């Protein structure tokens, strides 16, 4: 008792001291002010309103970082005080023990911090309470959990460590550096490596608390936090042993060393358990893949009908599966795959127990007799268990599975983590990825695409959930008297998913399709906000459905469409072979709780915003009606399922270079129209289905601003990669996973361009659609489909596919400037486009020519398709002149080189200048082969930045390690870089259609200032007078405002924008300038000169007030 009393006494006065320290007071006041204000900012965010646990989670994370740093500074006081102040000796001579003293001091500090935590949590509670007007609830548990999981272990650990170090090192400055360094390294460098092992502040550890299932993987988290709690206590006990005061009894410090060691062992054991568990998970996954590889070619059956009787257990399910199918090949043993967590109790055929073997997921059933190919097979498999989550996403590498899932917009602090399955008493979610029911064959194999064969089967499902829960799956839900939910999907499906929870639904039947919203009890925050729009919903849904179907030329096949709410931790991955992620299931989309990760679901706020801001128009402010506001919000919500990209990810990487990435929107509705209806399979090309899918989706190139920032578009990167590696190898290479879609896209575009050429793009696509339509819910053999398409297009597509195993020979073009002329002849008025393109490579190729703005009726002799889209083939070293006549001005011309060395690979030309002429004879549309020199003008000498021998750049004069770093940083990059709003400090190659170039339209760009130069050495064939031109790309400053203003005019009067040149010839140098305010984009004249020497030099300096200097090309024309 005296022990505790003494600790309490020391703690009381230690707390007093801490509370009287200005350092702490300032911190506490700042923390209260900042986090207090932050609370109110945070409660504006939907991700926090929707999942209230995120509020204490976020706030405590922030506080924790602050207090972890402050604690270090305070711990130094701890010893400093004892060292310098003699008066503390009067306490040392008291009969209390060292343990009581040290523990009292640490506890005294800790409890002050804990009180601060409680005060901040009280503020948080107030903010939380106030936000209840926005529909936010209070998650009391979360406050307790996060306090216990975040604050306590962190503080015990950091105080223990800090005091221990302070005592052993006895140097305040050194200890600070060590500890702050430690914090810095863990927060900024180590981060989540070793499975968050070093994340002592729990800053990255996923601890999201769902409103449906609570914190996932509590065991792992507790284990992780105990590591630090134990180490913290260990350090504390060592401190007792090392404390510099004579202990009350001789040798009394030995027990504390022992206790310290015990806690270190405990902490070490927890750390080992943590890492080992994860390492073992990885080993286990590797083992599962090996098993799949081993059995991937074993015989299997195709399942026609699968009837599943499922009983939900406290953890997991008990299932009796009746499987009817046909043997795919002759055998007596067939292979199935079932999640390794599911224990097979028995397999019976015609009521008789049948032997089977099980190796993790592999289930091989020995039928005891040989089946012929296509012979029907019926069997029953009884199994029970829970899903082993490690088995999910065997193909996804660790980095991706470890990726932190933070909210893209807003605070970005908490980590939602990644869960692929839920199975607890009150909630269950099994997607096909879990292999929760037996499927023929094996799961992911990295050796053979054979594993991927999916077939359409007829499913029937009966589910007996635990008390009062509701089961959801594909097919119409029918609840029987005995509490069993049964489902009988109207269509064959490739896979089946199962959800069980406290679900309720809102439902509406529109055009004989049931539209359902399944939400967890108490989560209907939305319907009240759509009161005015109820009568119009049917119209909006119909309008959108038609729109989507028209856009993709595909029909929605199912009888119902459900949005189903699931826990926020659920995570899915993008895969090369399919657009459909696991949140997309046939006839349903799984949405994270309340749509917390998208602002679009903050319906109340969205409607409010519409009403507040929407009324501002040209005629001042008008009232936005409830109906208009609600409709607008509803359209936004629907857009959530229509947009192809979910996020723009900006980052600054090497050398501070910006890049922007997009990730596929997992909620894009497209798979419902395509992937769940069609299945194109190939034994050789696992991406066959994806190939067709991407081709049919026919997405336009990514945004041009993204290309500008990133340097190359994904398609261009794909082309450059395909130049060196085969399609097959690239698909297998995980490094290129993020641009797999682009790689498949360019290959699809190239493949079918051959077929389009003959039929015309639209006709060909229509043919493909109609073939698909005839095979809905059936498996389509890719090779057979290619056969058919080849025949239709009168081309041998197989030979092209055969080339996919080797790297591609890419053609290279010079694309002339298209001209459009308005010609009036005697009886008509037409617009004539004239364009010359030259293939300068040794390989044949195709060009896709598109007029984007055309929506006209056709010329009588040209098919409609050719007006807008056409494929033009080029032989090696062939130049073609293309003449096409249009009724309307073809202003927006897109020349797509499909798969070529050209950069940019797509040239978009907007035609503004259309001269009018009158002619008696109008040349009809035609394509003619002309001489290869058609694009060069005699007498012109052009030197481009691509001319290695004639073009030179200065290197910035940087000494020290920087050049080494720059060289290392740029290693392995593509040659052409992106240019963002911060121009580079050294000459950087970049491509853009507005630059001069033959097949590669490139230039070097640099920030102004610093005396850097670019030099063109131009060979002069003979003495004489020459006009010298420079190829100008107008900088943004001029393009956006500020343009064509003479000096002295406008806001930045007198601010000249000039490129400064030196023309070096005949042993002298002459200055020349181009005034960019007056210049036009393209060739701009520098002057006329008389050249005697055989080589002249043109030098461009970056000493100018134009922010970005571009070195492109120069041209000489002999007079």
Partner 1 sequence: MSITIKNLNKVYPNGHHALKDINLVIPPGMFGLLGPNGAGKSTLMRILVALMEPSSGEIDVYGYDLLKQRKEVRRILGYLPQDFRFFAKYKVYEFLDYAARLSGMNNTRQRKEAVDKMLEEVGLFDVRERYASKLSGGMKRRLGIAQALIHNPKVIIVDEPTTGLDPEERIRFRNLLSEVSGHEVTIILSTHIVGDISSTCKDMALLNRGQISFVGSPEEMLKMAEGKVWRLRVNNDQYRDINDKYPVISTIPMGLDWEIQVVADQIEGYEAEPFPPNLEHAYVYYMEHHLDLWTND
Q: Which residues bind partner 1 (CB under 8 A)?
A: 2, 5-6, 9-10, 12-13, 16-17, 20-21, 81, 84-97, 245-250
Give the number of other Cβ atoms within 10 Å of residue 948's Cβ: 7
Among 234, 205, 178, 217, which residue's Cα sits nearest to residue 64?
205
Measured from the CB atom, the residue of 180 and 246 that comes closer to partner 1 is 246
Closest contact distance (angstroms) between CB of 69 and partner 1 is 22
Measured from the CB atom, the residue of 12 and 621 that comes closer to partner 1 is 12
Distance from C-alpha of 317 to C-alpha of 471, rounded to nearest angstrom: 13
Inter-residue contact 813 to 839 (CB < 8 Å): yes
DSSP characters for 837-858?
Answer: EEE-SSS-EEEEEEETT--PPP
Among 232, 105, 260, which residue's Cα sits nearest to residue 162?
232
Closest contact distance (angstroms) between CB of 88 and partner 1 is 7
Closest contact distance (angstroms) between CB of 8 and partner 1 is 9
Measured from the CB atom, the residue of 106 and 121 that comes closer to partner 1 is 106
Measured from the CB atom, the residue of 105 and 224 that comes closer to partner 1 is 105
Closest contact distance (angstroms) between CB of 521 and partner 1 is 52
Inter-residue contact 427 to 220 (CB < 8 Å): no
Closest contact distance (angstroms) between CB of 167 and partner 1 is 18
Measured from the CB atom, the residue of 15 and 339 that comes closer to partner 1 is 15
Measured from the CB atom, the residue of 6 and 64 that comes closer to partner 1 is 6
Among 932, 843, 856, 841, which residue's Cα sits nearest to residue 891?
856
Plot region of 201 (φ>0 → left; ψ -120 to 50 → alpha; else → beta) = alpha
Distance from C-alpha of 657 to C-alpha of 966, rounded to nearest angstrom: 12
Measured from the CB atom, the residue of 18 and 953 that comes closer to partner 1 is 18
Among 630, 603, 609, which residue's Cα sits nearest to residue 537?
630
Measured from the CB atom, the residue of 8 and 926 that comes closer to partner 1 is 8
Closest contact distance (angstroms) between CB of 74 and partner 1 is 13
Closest contact distance (angstroms) between CB of 111 and partner 1 is 17
DSSP characters for 15-52?
Answer: HHHHHH-HHHHHHHHHHHHHHHHHHHHHTTSHHHHHST
Distance from C-alpha of 74 to C-alpha of 23, rounded to nearest angstrom: 8
Distance from C-alpha of 1094 to C-alpha of 1066, rounded to nearest angstrom: 9
Looking at 521-668, which runs of residues are DSSP E strands? 560-566, 584-585, 588-592, 616-617, 620-621, 645-652, 658-664
Distance from C-alpha of 966 to C-alpha of 976, rounded to nearest angstrom: 15
Closest contact distance (angstroms) between CB of 20 and partner 1 is 5
Structure tokens at 314: 């406290």
What's the distance, CA 843 to chain centroid? 36
Eight-state DSSP code of residue 937: P
**What value does the CA radius of gyration of the chain take, rounded to a whole number of Å?**
35
Measured from the CB atom, the residue of 248 and 926 that comes closer to partner 1 is 248
Closest contact distance (angstroms) between CB of 18 and partner 1 is 10
Measured from the CB atom, the residue of 92 and 616 that comes closer to partner 1 is 92
Closest contact distance (angstroms) between CB of 172 and partner 1 is 17
Measured from the CB atom, the residue of 249 and 961 that comes closer to partner 1 is 249
Closest contact distance (angstroms) between CB of 99 and partner 1 is 12
Measured from the CB atom, the residue of 86 and 314 that comes closer to partner 1 is 86
Distance from C-alpha of 175 to C-alpha of 165, rounded to nearest angstrom: 6
Distance from C-alpha of 727 to C-alpha of 140, rounded to nearest angstrom: 54
DSSP characters for 810-823?
Answer: ---EEEPPPEEEEE
What's the distance, CA 1040 to chain centroid? 31
Measured from the CB atom, the residue of 205 and 240 that comes closer to partner 1 is 240
Q: Is residue 123 classed exposed, middle or buried when 0-12, 13-18 and 19+ CB atoms within 10 A define those classes? A: buried
Closest contact distance (angstroms) between CB of 166 and partner 1 is 17
Closest contact distance (angstroms) between CB of 984 and partner 1 is 56
Structure tokens at 744: 């498949």
């Amino acid at each position: 008792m005296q022990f505790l009393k003494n600790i309490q006494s020391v703690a009381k006065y230690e707390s007093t001291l801490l509370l009287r320290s200005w350092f702490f007071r300032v911190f506490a006041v700042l923390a209260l002010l900042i986090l207090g204000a932050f609370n109110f900012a945070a409660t504006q965010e939907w991700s926090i309103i929707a999942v209230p646990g995120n509020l204490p989670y976020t706030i405590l994370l922030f506080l924790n970082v602050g207090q972890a740093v402050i604690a270090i500074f305070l711990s130094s006081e701890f010893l400093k005080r004892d060292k310098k102040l003699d008066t503390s000796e009067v306490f040392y001579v008291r009969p209390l023990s060292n343990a009581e003293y040290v523990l009292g001091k640490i506890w005294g500090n800790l409890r002050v911090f804990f009180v601060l935590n409680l005060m901040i949590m009280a503020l948080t509670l107030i903010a939380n309470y106030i936000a209840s007007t926005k529909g936010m609830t209070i998650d009391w548990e979360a406050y307790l959990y996060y306090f216990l999981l975040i604050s306590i272990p962190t503080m015990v650990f950091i105080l223990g460590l800090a005091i221990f170090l302070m005592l052993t090192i006895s140097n305040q400055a050194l200890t600070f550096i060590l500890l702050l360094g430690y914090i810095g390294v863990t927060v900024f460098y180590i981060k989540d490596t070793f499975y968050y092992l070093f994340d002592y502040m729990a800053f990255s550890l996923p601890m999201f608390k769902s409103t449906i299932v609570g914190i996932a993987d509590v065991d792992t988290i507790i284990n992780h936090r105990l590591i630090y709690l134990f180490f913290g206590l260990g350090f504390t006990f060592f401190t007792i042993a090392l404390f510099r005061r004579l202990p009350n009894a001789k040798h009394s410090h030995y027990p504390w060393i022992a206790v310290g060691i015990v806690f270190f062992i405990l902490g070490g054991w927890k750390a080992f358990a943590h890492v080992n568990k994860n390492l073992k998970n990885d080993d286990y996954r590797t083992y599962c893949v090996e098993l799949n590889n081993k059995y991937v070619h074993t015989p299997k059956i195709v399942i026609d009908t699968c009837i599943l009787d499922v009983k939900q257990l406290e953890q997991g399910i008990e299932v009796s599966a009746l499987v009817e199918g046909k043997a795919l090949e002759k055998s007596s043993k067939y292979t199935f795959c079932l999640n390794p967590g599911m224990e097979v109790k028995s397999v019976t055929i015609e009521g008789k127990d049948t032997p089977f073997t099980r190796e993790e997921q592999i289930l091989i059933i020995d039928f005891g007799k040989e089946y012929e190919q296509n012979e029907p097979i019926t069997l029953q498999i009884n199994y029970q268990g829970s899903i082993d989550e490690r088995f999910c996403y065997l193909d996804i590498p660790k980095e991706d599975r470890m990726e932190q899932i933070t909210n893209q917009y807003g605070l970005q602090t908490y980590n939602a983590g990644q869960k692929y399955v839920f199975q607890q008493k009150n909630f269950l979610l099994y997607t096909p990825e879990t292999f929760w029911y037996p499927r023929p064959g094996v799961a992911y194999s990295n050796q053979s695409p054979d594993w991927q064969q999916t077939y359409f089967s007829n499913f029937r499902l009966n589910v007996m959930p635990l008390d009062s829960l509701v089961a959801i799956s594909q097919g119409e839900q029918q609840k029987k008297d005995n509490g069993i939910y049964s489902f009988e999907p109207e269509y064959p499906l490739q896979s089946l998913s199962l959800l069980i929870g406290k679900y309720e639904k809102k439902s509406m039947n529109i055009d004989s399709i049931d539209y359902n919203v399944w939400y967890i009890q108490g989560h209907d925050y939305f319907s009240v906000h759509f009161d005015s729009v109820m009568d119009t919903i049917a119209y909006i849904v119909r309008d959108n459905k038609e729109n989507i179907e028209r856009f993709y030329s595909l029909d929605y096949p199912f009888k119902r469409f459900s949005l189903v709410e699931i826990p926020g931790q659920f995570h899915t991955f993008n895969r090369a072979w399919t657009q459909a992620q696991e949140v997309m299931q046939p006839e349903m989309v799984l949405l994270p709780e309340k749509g917390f990760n998208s602002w679009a679901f903050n319906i109340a706020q969205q409607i409010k915003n519409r009403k507040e801001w929407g009324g501002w128009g040209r005629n001042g402010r008008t009232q936005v009606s409830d109906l208009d506001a609600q409709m607008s919000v509803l359209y936004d919500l629907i857009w959530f399922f229509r947009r192809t990209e979910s996020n723009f990810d900006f980052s600054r990487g090497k050398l501070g270079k910006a890049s922007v990435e997009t990730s596929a929107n997992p909620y894009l509705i497209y798979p419902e129209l395509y992937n769940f209806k069609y299945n194109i399979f190939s034994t050789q090309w696992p991406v066959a289905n994806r190939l067709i899918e991407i081709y049919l989706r026919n997405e336009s190139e990514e945004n041009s601003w993204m290309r500008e920032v990133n340097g190359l578009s994904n398609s261009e990167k794909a082309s450059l990669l395909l130049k060196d590696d085969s399609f097959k190898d690239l698909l297998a290479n995980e490094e290129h996973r993020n641009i797999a879609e682009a790689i498949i896209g360019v290959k699809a575009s190239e493949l079918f361009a051959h077929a389009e050429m003959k039929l015309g793009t639209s006709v060909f696509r229509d043919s493909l659609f109609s073939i698909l339509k005839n095979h809905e819910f059936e498996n389509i053999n890719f090779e057979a489909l290619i056969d058919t398409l080849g025949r239709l297009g009168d081309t041998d597509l197989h030979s092209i596919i055969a080339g996919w195993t080797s790297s591609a020979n890419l053609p290279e073009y010079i694309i002339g400037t298209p001209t459009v002329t308005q010609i009036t002849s005697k009886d008509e008025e037409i617009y004539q486009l004239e364009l010359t393109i030259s293939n300068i490579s040794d390989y044949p190729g195709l060009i896709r020519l598109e007029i984007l703005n055309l929506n006209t009726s056709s010329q009588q002799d040209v098919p409609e398709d050719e007006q807008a889209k056409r494929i033009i083939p080029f032989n090696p070293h062939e130049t073609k002149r293309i003449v096409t006549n249009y009724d309307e001005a073809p202003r927006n011309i897109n020349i797509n080189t499909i798969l070529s060395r050209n950069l940019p690979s797509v040239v978009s030309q907007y035609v503004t200048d259309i001269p009018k002429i009158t002619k008696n004879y109008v040349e009809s549309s035609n394509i003619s082969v002309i001489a290869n020199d058609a694009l060069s003008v005699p007498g012109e000498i052009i030197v481009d930045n691509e001319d290695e021998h004639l073009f030179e750049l200065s290197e910035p004069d940087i000494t020290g390690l920087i050049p080494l770093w720059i060289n290392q940083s740029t290693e392995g990059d593509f040659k052409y870089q992106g240019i963002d709003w911060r121009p580079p400090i050294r000459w950087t190659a970049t491509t853009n259609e507005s630059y001069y170039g033959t097949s590669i339209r490139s230039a070097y760009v640099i920030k102004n200032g610093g005396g850097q130069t670019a030099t063109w050495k131009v060979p002069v064939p003979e003495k004489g007078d020459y006009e010298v031109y420079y190829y100008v790309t107008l900088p943004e400053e001029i393009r956006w405002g500020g343009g064509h203003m003479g000096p002295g005019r406008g806001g930045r009067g007198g601010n000249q924008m000039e490129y400064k040149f030196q023309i070096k010839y005949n042993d002298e140098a002459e200055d020349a300038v181009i005034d960019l305010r007056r210049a036009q984009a393209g060739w701009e004249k520098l002057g006329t000169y008389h050249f005697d020497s055989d080589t002249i030099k043109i030098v461009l300096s970056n000493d100018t007030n134009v922010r970005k200097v571009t070195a492109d090309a120069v041209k000489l024309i002999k007079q």
